[in-house]
Amino acid sequence: MKNANDSALRQRAARTIPNGMYGHMAIGPRMPAGYPQFFSRAEGARLWDADGREYIDYVCSYGPMIVGYGNPRVDARAAAQRAAMDIGNGPTETIVELAERLVGMVLHADWAVFSKNGNDATTTCIMAARAYAGKSKVLVANGAYHGSQPWANRRAPGAPAGEHDAFPTYDYNDAANVEQAARASADDLAGIMVSAFRHDAGYHQELVDPQFAATVRRLCDELDAALILDDVRAGFRLSLDASWSLLGIRPDLSAWGKALANGEALAATLGSDRYRDAMASVFVTGSYWYQAAPMAAALETLEILTEEDAPTRLEALGERLRQGIDEIAELHQQRVRQSGPPQMPTIMFEDDAKGERGSAFCSALIERGVYFHPWHNMFLSLAHTEADIDRTLDAVDAAMKTL
């Protein structure tokens, strides 16, 4: 049987895990035919599934991998720290070193608080904004993903009717709409949360409109509310500063995760001095939030990203991939729309409302050893090479022929 190990593991998982798997890792109901659920190892920009098949990976663990799976420098630094001390009755010097490094890299940041997941970081931002303002409401964009915790998850079955009353919505990139929403909540507005760009799953991505971003900054200044940037997904791929720094706009608070430690469990909330006392007044913590090994991994990851000017390198790789796909799609008369920044591409077919063409395309790529995602944005990493891109384009050409 072709996928014997994967199939056996799915059967075992179904007996002890609801639906066999959960969240964004649940392949069965979300991905096209042929996608593996379980993997056995990873190295560089490659994954091997439970049956030993190799893939060039363009999902990068949904973002955490940025300098390569098993990067020897990152792993060595984390291992050395883990051997000395990872977790104890208090943190190690590493927490101070990492806070200093991030404050030195990110222009709006004067302080840092660490946690484990993007969920933690976005929630901590909200807590700091509310503590400062003494108000409760935080605007969030329609359809935006800021984590699966109850305040951000509008799809949770059985959620109380008032669960999201404190989170009015606005339309991303619509300056007039966000102004209207902010004015409507002005008496109780603690902040406005934004993503680096619009990356709602299942839709074409939208780069941020500079006028929209400027409007959000102006509103936050006028209403004494926090501009909260959720940089969990885009952080360090678009810029080594906060992503909106590319527009000349500084947030007040920002949430980071995913690529921060190249896959070690670590997230961060960064903020300006204006919010320092408010953050100090909030009790946030977790048993594993102070682990030193992930912080050591983050320090080495940031070294590599700086040395290699990661955003520029990733953009060049992404452009090579994008241009090649456009040429191949034109050759095969396929209407493909590529959206988002080249470092984090989304590739979808026009006139494919049910995703059938995209699913067939991605299934054909899986058979050829290339792991694309049919409806979620993807990620480039420093472990990808020009040769990987060229091999991928050969697979894209072959997959397009099957359509």
- pLDDT (tens digit, 9 = 90+) per residue, 244-253? 999 999 999 9
pLDDT tens profile 177-189: 999 999 999 999 9
pLDDT tens profile 340-374: 999 999 999 998 989 999 999 999 999 999 999 99
Torsion sign (Cα): 309, 379, 201, 266: negative
Query: CB atoms < 10 A from the CB of 36, how many?
Result: 23
What order of strands is seen across the sheet that includes strand 46-49?
39-43, 46-49, 54-57, 370-371
In SS3 terms, the chain reads as: CCCHHHHHHHHHHHHHCHHHCCHHHCCCCCCCCCCCCCEEEEEECEEEECCCCEEEECCHHHCCCCCCECCHHHHHHHHHHHHHCCCCCCCCCHHHHHHHHHHHHCCCCCEEEEECCHHHHHHHHHHHHHHHHCCCEEEEECCCCCCCCCCCCCCCCCCCCCCCCCCCEECCCCHHHHHHHHHHCHHHEEEEEEECCECCCCCCCECCCHHHHHHHHHHHHHHCCEEEEECCCCCCCCCCCCHHHHHCCCCCEEEECHHHHCCCCCEEEEECHHHHHHHHHCCCCCCCCCCHHHHHHHHHHHHHHHHCCHHHHHHHHHHHHHHHHHHHHHHCCCCEEEECCCCCCEEEECCCCCCHHHHHHHHHHHHCCEECCCCCCCCCCCCCCHHHHHHHHHHHHHHHHHC
Q: Which of 166, 163, 182 is nearest to 127 (CA)?
A: 166
Phi-psi region of 91 (alpha: psi -120 to 50; beta: other; left: phi over 0): beta
Provide the token pair at 376. 């979620």
Mean per-residue pLDDT, 212-239? 98
- Rounded to 5°, angle at Cα 106 from 297 and 300: 15
Residue 104: is it exposed, middle or buried by C-beta count within 10 angstroms (0-12/13-18/19+)?
exposed
227 DSSP β-pair partners: 192
Q: What is the dihedral of CA 17, 120, 195, 109, to 10 degrees?
A: -150
Res. 156 pLDDT band, cuts 50 70 90: confident
**The pLDDT of residue 155:** 84
**The pLDDT of residue 28:** 85
CA atoms within 13 A on the CB side of 249: 26
Phi-psi region of 265 (alpha: psi -120 to 50; beta: other; left: phi over 0): beta
| Residue 1: pLDDT over 80 | no
Distances (CA, A) of 384 to 40, 282, 313, 320, 343: 20, 41, 10, 12, 11
Report residue 170: phi and psi, to 5°: -140, 170
Q: Give the distance from CA 250 to its chain's centroid.
A: 19
Res. 324 pLDDT band, cuts 50 70 90: very high
**The pLDDT of residue 159:** 81
Res. 98 pLDDT band, cuts 50 70 90: very high
pTM over 0.85: yes
Provide the token pair at 293. 């090994």
d(CA 245, CA 256): 15
Mean per-residue pLDDT, 45-49? 98
Torsion sign (Cα): 113, 118, 120, 124: positive
| Residue 96: pLDDT over 80 | yes
Percent of the chain with pLDDT over 70: 100
Give every CB contact of residue 151 below 8 A, 6+ residues apart in sequence: 123, 126, 163, 164, 166, 167
- Summary mean pLDDT of the chain: 97
Q: Which of 126, 121, 83 is nearest to 275 (CA)?
A: 126
